[in-house]
Amino acid sequence: MNDSEKLLNDYRLIAETLLELKGTHIVKDPTVLNHLVELESAMCELNAMLTELQHEIAQKEAITQRARPRLYLVKRSTNNPPAIGS
């Protein structure tokens, strides 16, 4: 399992845990509510950072693809005489 798969799995576990808490009385605890608000804020910041990183990666890939030199195989015509220096 690579790092991104592990991270996604961790987020899935967090989501499952929060869904299990939804139906319990612990959700009404002010301390838990404060922590959930902080978690929501942190997740929004993380989402913004990931979106920005994806945008930067896409830009870098676009630049990299344009910068690659392109070589073309040109078949010499038999009708034309050889060029000077050939």
pLDDT of residue 84: 66
* Residue 12 counted as domain residue: no
| CA neighbor of 48 nearest in space, from 38, 37, 40 | 40
* Residue 31 counted as domain residue: yes
* Residue 42 counted as domain residue: yes
Q: Decide which of 62 and 69 is more confident.
A: 62
User: Could you tell me how many helices (H) and strands (E) the chain has, helices first?
Assistant: 2, 0
* Residue 79 counted as domain residue: no
Reported as a single tens digit per residue, the pLDDT across 5-54 is: 888 788 888 888 888 887 788 778 888 888 888 888 888 888 888 889 89
**Segment among 2-11, 49-58, 72-81 with least mean pLDDT:** 72-81
* Residue 74 counted as domain residue: no
* Residue 56 counted as domain residue: yes
Q: Do the Cβ atoms of 67 and 59 come closer than 8 Å?
A: no
* Lookup: tokens for 40: 């929501």
Calculate the CA dihedral of residues 55, 61, 67, 73 and round it to 10 degrees.
-140
* Residue 76 counted as domain residue: no
pLDDT of residue 83: 63
Of how many residues is the chain composed?
86
pTM above 0.85, yes or no: no
pLDDT of residue 80: 64
Q: Do the Cβ atoms of 58 and 65 come closer than 8 Å?
A: no
Give me the domain span that covers residue 52: 27-68
* Residue 1 counted as domain residue: no
pLDDT of residue 36: 83
